[in-house]
């Protein structure tokens, strides 16, 4: 629109911000995007991508060991942590270049520096001011650390991806997906891992059978799990290691645990500090997230937000979907609200988790009567590998109309399998549809279409 420098000014060049900017520019809008760091955001540079590369690297230890059961005699293997980090960094540099090229080819102007809102239509970056008809906040989230003595000695997931050396002993504090993923990575690479969880088990909010199964399997792999435990303080001791004073669970661990490093994964907070949001009237909730309506507009007309900065559903594909909906609303003449039903998600733990839909507990609260089907079995691979690892699969079915409202899995390839099941749930598939589907044999995935024994209702 005439009178403004840009039709859209995006703050934050992560997955959501880049997608919205590119789509809007492709529809003829004049678009700028500001980024204080490298282009790509949390997922590409500090989250999903580098983390999964480390998961893949760490799993080779089990692959080498399991190969003996299949007739292989592997030679002596050694692991080089700096080589892995170097290879990971090279890939991130490549992806950063890809994102820069995508923005340039789309006609989006990249503005480098920390952005701050001056008013509802003005953004200041590195001393320069830019005006825009619409402003999009897509600054994501950032690891949150509690205020305890010695917390400055702790690592977050950001630093864990760039450690100069592999620790011998590591404490992981937290029970969410980031915590269990890093615990699995370092444990598989030979690090002695103790994981401390404030609650009663891992993965609060997930289906109870997922939580119990994963905790059991991680324990089998040698991860020491301390539930009902909080860290009171962290201190450096004479030999250079860290001493963690604990509260709760002390009958198990004594009064302190000594490790080489401590990784905190106790949550992330929306990255809204220093943006000048309150000064221009943008409403934030108690967690510091931007409050938006169904169409991602903030309390100030013309200012919008997508992704983790809104603290709705903090997943990269969700941020991308929100961005697409926003561009349809603003530049395509098609007001579109994001659909948050049946969003599949994965935890790249070891073994991995895949889930879509409602947990059993949530389904019972929402629908009352539900049918539950659960299968636990030893995967075919481990009949020869000899590894003591079990797979768990679960279906949650709404009893009155037999619609499948939850699919949950812990085991190899769970994320790949559940992605396909998400389509079925989104389409409204019933248990009869699952039963009528012929499985692919021999696969683990076929178990989802062969479960026939409904569990008895709980007392």
Q: Report the percent of the chain where pLDDT is more than 70.
A: 98
- Residue 254, pLDDT score: 53
- Annotated domain spans of the chain: 6-143+269-331, 151-266, 345-449
Q: Rounded distance, CA 122 to CA 34, Å? A: 13
Nearest C-alpha neighbor of 452 from the set 398, 377, 373, 397? 373
How would CATH label the architecture of 6-143+269-331?
A: 3-Layer(bba) Sandwich (3.50)
CATH architecture of the domain covering 345-449: 2-Layer Sandwich (3.30)
Task: Give backbone dihedrals phi and psi of 290, rounded to 5 degrees, phi first.
Answer: -70, 125
Q: What is the predicted pLDDT for the residue at 459?
A: 81
Q: Judge whether 151-266 and 345-449 match in fold.
A: no
Cis preceding-peptide flag for 351 (omega within 30 of 0) = yes
Q: For residue 458, what are the contacts with CB-CB under 8 A and spacing of at least 6?
A: none
310: DSSP letter: G
Any idea which of 252-256, 381-385, 423-427, 446-450 has the lowest mean pLDDT? 252-256
- pLDDT given at position 1: 52
Q: What Å distances lie between residue 248 and 88, 213, 228, 233, 255, CA to CA?
A: 38, 23, 6, 13, 9
pLDDT per position as a tens digit, 212-226: 999 999 999 999 999
- Name every residue whose Cβ is closer than 8 Å to that of residue 421 and which is 6 or more positions away in sequence: 344, 356, 407, 448
Q: Structure tokens of 361?
A: 């507990």
d(CA 256, CA 131): 55
Nearest-angstrom CA–CA distance, 333 and 356: 31
Residue 249 predicted with pLDDT over 90: no
Query: What mean pLDDT do residues 118-134 have?
Result: 97
The pLDDT mean for the chain works out to: 96
Q: Exposed (0-12), middle (13-18) or buried (19+): which is 441, by Cβ within 10 Å?
A: exposed
Token couple for 276:
């000048």
Average pLDDT over residues 427-438: 98
> Mind listing the pLDDT tens digit for each residue in 30-82?
999 999 989 999 999 999 999 999 999 999 999 999 999 999 998 889 999 99
Closest CA to 385 of 162, 70, 79: 70
Residue 121 is among the residues annotated as catalytic for this protein: no
pLDDT per position as a tens digit, 290-349: 999 999 999 999 999 999 999 999 999 999 999 999 999 999 999 999 999 999 999 999
| Per-residue pLDDT at 2 | 63
**According to the model, what pLDDT value does residue 415 have?**
98
**CATH label, 151-266, candidates 3.40.50.1110, 1.20.200.10, 3.50.50.60, 2.40.50.100:** 3.50.50.60
């Amino acid at each position: 629109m005439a009178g403004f420098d840009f039709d859209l000014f995006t703050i934050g060049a992560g997955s959501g911000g880049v997608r919205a900017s590119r789509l809007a520019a492709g529809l003829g809008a004049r678009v700028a995007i500001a980024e204080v760091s490298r282009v790509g955001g949390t997922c590409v540079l500090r989250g999903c991508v580098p983390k999964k590369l480390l998961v893949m690297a760490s799993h080779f230890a089990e692959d080498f060991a399991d190969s003996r059961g299949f007739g292989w005699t592997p030679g002596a293997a050694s692991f080089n942590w700096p080589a892995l980090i170097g290879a990971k960094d090279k890939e991130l540099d490549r992806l950063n270049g890809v994102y820069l090229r995508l923005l340039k080819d789309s006609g989006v102007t990249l503005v480098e520096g920390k952005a701050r809102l001056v008013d509802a239509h003005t953004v200041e970056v590195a001393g320069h001011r830019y005006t825009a008809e619409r402003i999009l906040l897509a600054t994501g989230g950032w690891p949150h650390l509690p205020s305890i003595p010695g917390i400055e000695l702790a690592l977050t997931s950001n630093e864990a991806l760039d450690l100069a050396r592999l620790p011998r002993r590591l404490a992981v504090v937290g029970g969410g997906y980031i915590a269990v993923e890093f615990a699995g990575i370092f444990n598989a690479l030979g690090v002695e891992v103790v994981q401390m969880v404030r609650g009663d088990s891992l993965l609060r909010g997930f289906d109870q059978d997922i939580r119990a199964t994963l905790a059991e399997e991680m324990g089998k792999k040698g991860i020491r799990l301390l539930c009902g435990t909080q860290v009171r303080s962290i201190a450096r001791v004479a030999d250079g290691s860290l001493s963690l004073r604990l509260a709760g669970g002390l009958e198990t661990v004594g009064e302190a645990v000594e490790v080489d490093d401590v990784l905190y994964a106790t949550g992330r907070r929306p990255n809204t500090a220093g943006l000048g949001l309150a000064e221009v009237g943008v409403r934030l909730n108690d967690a510091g997230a931007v409050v938006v309506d169904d169409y991602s507009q903030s309390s100030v007309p013309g200012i919008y937000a997508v992704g983790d900065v809104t603290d709705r559903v903090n997943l990269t594909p969700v941020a991308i979907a929100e961005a697409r909906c926003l561009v349809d609303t603003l530049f395509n003449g098609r007001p579109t609200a994001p659909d948050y039903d049946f969003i599949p998600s994965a935890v790249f733990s070891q073994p991995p988790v895949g889930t879509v839909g409602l947990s059993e507990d949530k389904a019972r609260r929402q629908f009352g009567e539900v049918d539950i089907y659960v299968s636990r079995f030893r995967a075919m691979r481990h009949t020869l590998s000899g590894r003591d690892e079990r797979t768990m699969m679960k279906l949650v079915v709404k009893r009155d109309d037999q619609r499948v409202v939850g699919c949950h899995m812990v085991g190899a390839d769970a994320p790949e399998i559940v992605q396909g099941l998400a389509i079925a749930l989104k389409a409204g598939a019933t248990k009869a549809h699952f039963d009528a589907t012929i499985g692919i044999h021999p696969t683990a995935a076929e178990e989802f279409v062969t479960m026939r024994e409904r569990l008895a209702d709980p007392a």
